[in-house]
Structure formats: C-alpha cells, structure tokens
C-alpha cells in the first residue's frame, strides 16, 4: 500500500547503438490523473536503427493505448503482434515489450514479452514474484508473463532492454554479457552508496555502466533502462512577485519558513520584501557572469535567488526548446536542474505588477509574470510529469 504522501517517480535513460541515428528501443509513459494511475511501456524493436525504432514506437504506442483503456492483455498483444510490419530480411515482425501498470493503491501489474525480467527491490532486498504465463494460439512462441503484486513506499522497479543484460557480451570479464544479475548487483551497490538515489540518477547510472562494459565504451546494441521509485516527494517552492496587497507581505514570508524542501526566490523586489520580513541579509554575486542575465544572490535558508522576469522567461524558453545544458546561463541551468530533481513544485505568485516593466520605451518586451509561470507550470506537467501547484497572493 502506498500512501498519499508517496510520489511515483518514473524515469528512463537510453543510449543508441553506436553508428545509428535513432534508438531502436522506445519508452513511453502516461499518468492518468483522475484515476491516479501510471502506465509505462518499454519496447525493443527487432534489429537496430530506423526499422527497429518504428517497430518499438508502434508497440509502445499501441500498448499504452490498450492498457489505458483496460483492454484484455492477450487480445492487446495479439493486435500488436499482428500489426507490426514484417522485416524484409528476417521475414518476421517482432518487438518485445514490458508494460508496467501502477495504481495509486499500490497495486502493480506487469506484463512482459521477451524483455529481460524486471527487478523489484525493497531496500536492499530483491522481491521475487510468481508469474502467470499466457500464450496466444496465433503466436505460440511468444509467451506473456504476468505479475501482480503490491508495492510499499521506497520500493523500486527496474526494467530494461537486452542492451543492458547483454552488455559486454563476448568480451572479458562478461563473456556472456552483464546479465540481469550483474545489473541487479550494480543497482544494489548504487542504492547502498546513496539510499535515496532518484529514478533519474539510477537509470542513468545503469545505462552508463552497461555501456562501459563494451570495448571502447561503444554501444553494441541500443541500451534502455527505466526505473520506478515510490518515493517521499522532493518538494520545491518558488516564490515570485510582490503580493498584491502589502498587508500580505508577512503571510508571504511564512511560505519560506517552516517548509520542508528547497526554496527559490525570483525577483529583486520579492527578495527585498522577504529579506525585510525575515530579517535576513541578501548578498548579490555582482561579479558573477550569467550569460547576459542579471546576477544571482543568496540568503540564509533559501536555495537560490534570481532576478524575476528575464530569468523566468529564459527558463521557459530553454525548457520549451530543450536547449542543451552547456548553452544555458548558469542561473537558468541551476533552476531547471532543481525542477528536475523535485517531484512536487509549488509556485507562490505575487500578482502586483511593476508598472515600470510596462513602459513602452523599454528596449525589450517584458512578459507578465503570471503568464510565464503558467507556461513553466504547463511545461513541467506535460514534459516532465511533475506535480505542480500554483497559488496567487
């Protein structure tokens, strides 16, 4: 049973086979808010490159749709297998899949077809599950393995393509590949070193380790690993803009104190109000280079202080256009990383408008604060599946 205070972090990481332009593994996930249900699908298409990518993408798209609509699993699998185009060379149509279906009550149902078996971890212990086997009469050699079980807070589910289990194949010391056991051992080692390791970091670590098993760290296959972590949510609170009524300044400051999580302040006036109300000192990093954006500041008990509109506009732009991290201004990169490393994000938005920002003679257009925050909220929810709350003050 998982409680209301448990966040389901679902992340994956993948590397494409060396020499190919597209990955032949695909991962898709969806969260159905009204049902409080999450579905994640991983598929490995036959071969590599565009052909494999097509097979994998078709499979994940169909599997996700069918699972969402609660269609019977054997029938769903038959439709998937019947619909995949037949490879001209191998004369078969084929893509593996793992469907992980999670209900808010903590019930998990996993359906696997030819992927390495998933790993269920509770702390440092692997939990084994009995699997129900089903075979379609049309596809007798494609066995489905069904697992039903309940998870507890802090559990992890790890599933991957054979790029992980077969990493290092044919080369010492893993002549027969890293195998599922190698991956399990490494995951336990990571959790031992960092008990709260996020799904994002763990999936990345496993794929990087798998890739490193191969000679010259070349990917001999597409490598994908997904991790589901039932974690205590990491909370982030971002305060921006002065409260509409000055009387609310002290209430606004209460949002900074007694908060378990990280806090970001965006806006010069906002920072001044909070420093005054909390009687804390602000130090501005005047000589810091921030790629054309105003410098950041610091204050005790706050993770980050930035200027408001220009920085937030740039954050929204970088998120929307998936700008590479190395091209981002330091403050923007830090803020986006803080978003990524949080599960629940609250925006406390002061709605007082700074009239000076509306002066038509200003050399740049300044967006209205509320609109940028709405845009960032939307990006965090749709692209990064974050739980986002917004409060105007």
Partner 1 sequence: MDKIKVEICVGTTCFILGASELQELERFLPEGLRDKVDITGATCLGMCKDDNYGQAPFVRVGNRIVSNASISSVIEQIEEQLKHR
Nearer to partner 1, 139 or 255 (CB): 255
Residue 143, token pair as written in the block: 């066995």
Report the half-sphere exposure of 184 (CA within 13 A, side-chain side). 16
Stretch that binds partner 1, among 149-157, 224-232, 233-241, 348-356 (CB under 8 A): 348-356
3-state secondary structure of 140: coil
The verdict on 355 binding partner 1 (CB under 8 A) reads yes
3-state secondary structure of 205: helix
Residue 213, token pair as written in the block: 């098993």
Residue from 330, 354, 370, 387 touching partner 1 (CB under 8 A): that is 354
The CB-of-279 to partner 1 minimum distance in angstroms stands at: 16
Residue 373, C-beta contacts closer than 8 angstroms, at least 6 positions apart: 240, 312, 347, 349, 390
The CB-of-28 to partner 1 minimum distance in angstroms stands at: 40
The verdict on 360 binding partner 1 (CB under 8 A) reads no
The CB-of-270 to partner 1 minimum distance in angstroms stands at: 8
The CB-of-240 to partner 1 minimum distance in angstroms stands at: 11
Residue 2, C-beta contacts closer than 8 angstroms, at least 6 positions apart: 8, 104, 105, 106, 151, 152, 153, 230
Residue from 235, 357, 374, 387 touching partner 1 (CB under 8 A): that is 357
Backbone φ and ψ for 279, nearest 5 degrees, come out as 55, 50
Nearer to partner 1, 89 or 364 (CB): 364
Residue from 309, 319, 372, 380 touching partner 1 (CB under 8 A): that is 309
Backbone φ and ψ for 287, nearest 5 degrees, come out as -95, 10
Residue from 221, 307, 314, 343 touching partner 1 (CB under 8 A): that is 307
Stretch that binds partner 1, among 16-24, 46-54, 128-136, 350-358 (CB under 8 A): 350-358
Nearer to partner 1, 122 or 352 (CB): 352
In the range 247-266, which residues lie near partner 1 by CB under 8 A? none
Nearer to partner 1, 153 or 295 (CB): 295
How many residues bind partner 1, per CB under 8 A? 29
Per DSSP (E only), the strands in the chain are 7-15, 25-32, 37-44, 97-103, 107-113, 119-122, 125-126, 132-135, 143-150, 155-160, 223-231, 235-240, 262-266, 283-284, 297-298, 304-306, 344-349, 387-392
Query: Is residue 321 within 8 Å of 214, Cβ to Cβ?
Result: no
- Provide the mask over 266-305, with x wherever binding to partner 1 is found by CB under 8 A and - wherever it is not: -xxx-xx---------xxxxxx----x-xx-x-------x
3-state secondary structure of 217: helix
Which stretches of the chain bind partner 1, using CB under 8 A? 267-269, 271-272, 282-287, 292, 294-295, 297, 305, 307-310, 354-357, 359, 362-364, 366
């Amino acid at each position: 049973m998982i409680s209301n205070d448990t966040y389901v972090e679902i992340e994956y990481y993948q590397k494409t086979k060396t020499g190919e332009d597209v990955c032949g593994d695909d991962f898709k996930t969806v969260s159905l808010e009204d049902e409080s249900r999450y579905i994640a699908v991983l598929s490995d298409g036959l071969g590599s490159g565009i052909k494999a990518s097509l097979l994998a993408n078709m499979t994940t798209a169909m599997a996700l749709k069918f699972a969402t609509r609660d269609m019977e699993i054997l029938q769903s699998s038959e439709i998937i297998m019947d619909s995949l185009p037949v490879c001209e060379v191998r004369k078969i149509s084929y893509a593996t899949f793992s469907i992980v279906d999670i209900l808010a009550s903590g019930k998990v149902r996993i359906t696997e077809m030819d992927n390495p078996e998933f790993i269920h971890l509770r702390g440092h212990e692997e939990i084994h599950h009995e699997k129900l086997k089903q075979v379609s009469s049309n596809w007798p050699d494609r066995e489905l393995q069904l697992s039903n079980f309940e998870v507890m807070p802090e559990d992890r589910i790890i599933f991957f393509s054979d790029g992980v289990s077969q990493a290092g194949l044919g080369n010492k010391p893993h002549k027969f590949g890293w195998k599922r056991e190698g991956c399990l051992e490494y995951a336990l080692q990571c959790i031992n070193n960092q008990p709260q390791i996020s799904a994002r970091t763990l999936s990345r670590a496993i794929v990087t380790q798998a890739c490193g098993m191969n000679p010259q760290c070349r990917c001999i296959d597409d490598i994908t690993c997904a991790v589901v972590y039932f974690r205590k949510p990491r909370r982030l609170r971002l305060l921006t803009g002065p409260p509409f009524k000055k009387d609310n300044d002290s209430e606004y400051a209460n949002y900074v104190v007694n908060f378990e999580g990280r806090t970001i302040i965006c806006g010069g006036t906002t920072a001044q109000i909070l420093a005054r109300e909390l009687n804390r000192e602000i130090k501005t990093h005047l000589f810091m280079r921030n790629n054309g954006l105003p410098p950041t500041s610091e204050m005790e008990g706050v993770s980050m202080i930035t200027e408001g509109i220009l920085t937030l506009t740039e954050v929204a732009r970088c998120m929307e256009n998936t700008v590479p991290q190395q091209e981002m201004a330091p403050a923007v990169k830090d803020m986006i990383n803080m978003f990524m490393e949080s599960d629940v994000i609250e925006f406390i938005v002061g709605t007082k408008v700074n009239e000076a920002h509306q002066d038509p003679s200003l050399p740049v257009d300044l967006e209205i604060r509320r609109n940028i925050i709405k845009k960032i909220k939307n990006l965090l929810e749709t692209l990064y599946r974050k739980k986002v709350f917004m409060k105007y003050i």
